[in-house]
Structure formats: structure tokens, C-alpha cells
Amino acid sequence: MRELPLLEARAIAKRYGDTPVFAELSLTLQAGELVALIGESGSGKSTLLNCLAGLDHIDAGQVLLQGQDLALLDEAGLAALRRDKLGFVFQAFHVLPHLTVRDNVGLPLLLQRRRDPARVEAMLAAVGLAALGERMPRQLSGGQLQRVAIARALVHRPALLLADEPTGNLDARHAEQVLQLLLAQVREQGVACLLVTHSERAAAHADRCIRLG
Ligand SMILES: Nc1ncnc2c1ncn2[C@@H]1O[C@H](COP(=O)(O)OP(=O)(O)OP(=O)(O)O)[C@@H](O)[C@H]1O
């Protein structure tokens, strides 16, 4: 028997006003799978990620995370699901400006009431930011901020990682470092990862590609 998909979208549709972004879109993601989401600018990749995370409402269809239909959850239920199961790397990082780098990375663990300083340090080291834990976000470069966002998205060992161009601001060396980190989470921890990317190099690491538009 086939394993229950970690994430399943069934014939979902999204429009803004009268303008459809996508329709009849179905996808599944299994634990331990890295899937690249590709498509031209404006094809709806970020919108799809937001819909899969329950951050944006769909107009038709169903999204199921570990069999749970997101539409049946209220806002508190959705927030708890995101807190416990999901890591999200936003295109705009959404790093909190008044917290240090270390506290930004530790935030998901704090929200789950399970502080783990060693895990936070390990994630900082994994993204090459071990020396910058005490810095404030305004003292970081764009690429460093992106790596903070990646460490924060993984620190609580989510079952699902939705990553919106996580290597977009990085030089080749750091992009490869981040890709290897994502791959390790997928292969060793069984994380399911949907990776939005314009990079052929990043897409080449994926098990499959889904194209929008
Ligand atoms: N809040 C919104 N209101 C109206 N239209 C929106 C909104 N958000 C996105 N759109 C439109 O929906 C379409 C898809 O946008 P989206 O950001 O998902 O694309 P994308 O594939 O992620 O693009 P990029 O690669 O440039 O990040 C675009 O045409 C965009 O203008």
C-alpha cells in the first residue's frame, strides 16, 4: 500500500479578483522527497506556497497535510499546524528586526516551548553564521539574512519545508552549502521539501520538478 502523502493538493484553484493564478492544480509530496517548483516570474509559485501553508485561502479544491484538511481548521488550528509541522523560507525573509540572529533562529523552538540552545548553535553553524549569533538583523547582508531564515525554518525539524527561492541571494558557495543542508534534511530526516527556484543547479538536486504556468 502506498504511504499517505505528507502533503496533498487536490484540484486547487486560486484567483485574485477575476484573475486566475492557477486552477485544477494537484500535487503530492512524500516524506523524504525534494520537489522543485519552477515557472516564470508571476506564474504563481509564491501564491501556491502560501496556499499550501494555509496562509492564503484557496477558491476550490483541498489541501491536506498529513491527511488533515486545512479547510477544516480555524485560525488557531492552522497556526498550531504551521508551528509544529512547517518550516517556511519566505522570499522576503521575514526576519524579526528587534531580535538577535540567535533569537530569530531559536524562535520556532520557543513557540513550541522547547528551548534547545545546542540545536540553535548547530543550525547557525550549518548555515555558516556561528560567529554572528549576537548581531541584529540590520547588521547583516541580504545573503546572511537569507541564511538566518533557512536556519529558522529548519531548527524545529519540521515535517514539511516550503522554501521560496532560498538560494536567490546567495553566492555559488553559500548556495551550494544551503542546498546540501536542505538535501541532508530531506534524505536523513525525511523532511518533505517544496523548493521554489529559478536555478537549474538547485532544480538538478530535486527528485522531481513541477512547472507552473
Ligand atoms: N495579493 C495579491 N493581489 C492581487 N494579485 C496578486 C497578489 N499576490 C500576487 N498576485 C498576482 O498573482 C500572480 C502570481 O504571483 P506570485 O507572487 O505567486 O508569482 P511567482 O511565480 O512567485 O513570481 P516570482 O517568481 O516573481 O516570485 C502575479 O500575477 C501577481 O501579480
Pocket-testing residue among 12, 14, 21, 37, ligand 1, by greatest number of atoms within 8 A of Cβ: 21
Ligand 1, atom nearest to 50 Cα: 18
Q: Are 116 and 109 in contact (CB under 8 A)?
A: yes
Cell of 105: 533562529
Q: Report in angstroms the alpha-carbon separations of 25 from 32, 35, 48, 80, 101.
A: 22, 15, 10, 26, 37
4: in domain: no
As a whole number of angstroms, the distance between CA 42 and CA 132 comes to: 35
Domain presence at residue 163: yes
Amino acid at 26: S
- Note whether residue 15 is domain-resident: no
Per-residue pLDDT of the chain (213 residues; tens, 9 = 90+): 567 899 999 999 999 999 999 999 999 999 999 999 999 999 999 999 999 999 999 999 999 999 999 999 999 999 999 999 999 998 888 999 999 999 999 999 999 999 999 999 999 999 999 999 999 999 999 899 999 999 999 999 999 999 999 988 888 888 888 889 889 989 999 999 999 998 888 888 899 999 998
Q: Is the Cβ–Cβ distance between 162 and 49 less than 8 Å?
A: yes
> Which residues contact residue 22 at a Cβ distance below 8 angstroms, ignoring those fewer than 6 apart?
12, 13, 14, 44, 47, 48, 212
CATH value at residue 164 = 3.40.50.300
pLDDT at position 206, please?
Answer: 94
Q: Is residue 153 part of a domain?
A: yes
Q: Do residues 158 and 86 make contact, with C-beta atoms less than 8 angstroms apart?
A: yes
Q: Does a structural domain hold residue 24?
A: no
Q: Is 129 in the pocket of ligand 1 (CB under 6 A)?
A: no
User: What is the rounded CA–CA span in Å between residue 115 and residue 156?
Assistant: 10
Report whether residue 45 contacts ligand 1, using a CB cutoff of 6 Å: yes
Angle of helix 117-126 relative to helix 101-111, nearest 10 degrees, comes to 130
Return the H-helix or E-strand segment holding 25.
strand 19-29
Q: Does 10 map to a domain?
A: no
Whether pTM > 0.90 for this model: the answer is yes
- Asked whether 81 lines ligand 1 (CB < 6 A), one says no
Q: Determine whether the shortest distance from the Cβ of 21 to ligand 1 is under 6 A.
A: yes
CA dihedral over 17, 23, 28, 33, signed as positive or negative? negative
Give Cα separations from 190 to 43, 48, 137 (angstroms). 29, 22, 30
Using the structure block, give the residue that is written with the C-alpha cell 538583523.
137
DSSP 54-77: TSS--SEEEEEETTEEGGGS-HHH
Q: The domain containing residue 132 runs over which residues?
A: 30-55+78-211
* Residue at 183 is within a domain: yes
Structurally, the chain folds into a number of domains equal to: 1
Residue 66 within a domain: no
| pLDDT on residue 2 | 62
Determine whether the shortest distance from the Cβ of 133 to ligand 1 is under 6 A.
no
